[in-house]
Amino acid sequence: MCASSARPVRWATGVPGAGGQGLPSAVVATLILLRHARSAANGSGILAGRSPGVGLDETGQRQAAGLGERLAQVPVAAVVASPLQRCQDTVREFAASRGITPVVEERFSEVDYGDWTNRKVSELTREKLWTVVQQHPSAAVFPGGEGLANVQARAVAAVREHDARISAEHGPNAVWVACSHGDVIKSVLADALGVHLDGFQRIVVDPCSLSVVRYTETRPFVVKINDTGSDVSALLPPKEESSDAVVGGSTGSDGQEQQDGAR
């Protein structure tokens, strides 16, 4: 069951236009944006950022183990992943089962949160920059780190380059997986939707969720967003709802994702 879906996915079959009704006749590659499975930091209330050694918790390990079943009918040709451990741990078993060696892509890495790294999210909400991140993220630059506009630029450029490369290597019907982080994936989806970066906080990307984009010469088509598989608990409202988006993305943890944790 998915939290949001623009239309059912029709995995490419070699027939022009097989991506779904209304798509151009030109056959294009299909990108699956995979957020890493739940990490040990997601439930801790700490913004882990690019800190090394942040692996998956027990829930995340189960989520990663279930990728094979969720994508059993999908002909994945390539896997590209952030170098951070939580992304590598997420794709390792699935990629091995398909005989795929994941490509490490630095531009899919987590946001460099700079001085915010390893701080409690509950403390960060009191920073003046928090309001900028919520309301005008295109202007947000993390102290000692990078700006969200730069995150979007590097991630979209990487997606476009790998999409072209994989299409050339595996054919225009190729399906590939890009495993990255919440804010990175949200920025790519905002670009694909034609939404200004200031609106990307409206997009929800839960741990181990799948979002699907097909790029064409005319425009990207966003086919699916935040598909969490058969786990319907992600569709339930949080116990304490907030209008703020969690920096780094929601944690998908016991309905407390709004403020209890981050990447």
The predicted-structure confidence for 165-215, as pLDDT tens digits, reads as follows 999 999 888 999 999 999 999 999 999 999 999 999 999 999 999 999 999
Q: Mean pLDDT, to the nearest integer, of 135-151?
A: 98
> Could you read off the pLDDT of 43-88 as tens digits, one per residue?
788 899 999 999 999 999 999 999 999 998 899 999 999 999 999 9
Report CA 59 to chain centroid distance, whole Å. 18
CATH number, domain at 61?
3.40.50.1240
The verdict on residue 78 lying in a domain is: yes
Domain that holds residue 179: 27-235
> Could you read off the pLDDT of 21-42 as tens digits, one per residue?
343 335 578 999 999 999 988 8
Q: Mean pLDDT, to the nearest integer, of 120-149?
A: 97
The verdict on residue 121 lying in a domain is: yes
Q: Nearest to residue 30, comparing CAs of 174, 221, 171? A: 174
Report CA 217 to chain centroid distance, whole Å. 23
Q: What's at 110, amino acid-wise? A: E
Q: Which position has the higher pLDDT, 231 or 186? A: 186
The verdict on residue 80 lying in a domain is: yes
> Could you read off the pLDDT of 91-119 as tens digits, one per residue?
999 999 999 999 999 999 999 999 999 99
Per-residue model confidence (pLDDT) at position 196: 97
The verdict on residue 99 lying in a domain is: yes
Q: What's at 155, amino acid-wise? A: A
The verdict on residue 17 lying in a domain is: no
Coil/strand/helix, residue 70: helix
Spatial distance between the Cα atoms of 210 and 111, rounded to a whole number of angstroms: 19
Evaluated on CA atoms 161, 213, 3, 61, the torsion sign reads: negative
Per-residue model confidence (pLDDT) at position 209: 96
Question: What is the C-alpha R_g of the chain?
Answer: 17
Residue 155 has pLDDT above 80, yes or no: yes
The verdict on residue 73 lying in a domain is: yes
Domain count, the chain: 1
- Token pair belonging to 164: 């072209």
The verdict on residue 7 lying in a domain is: no
The verdict on residue 149 lying in a domain is: yes
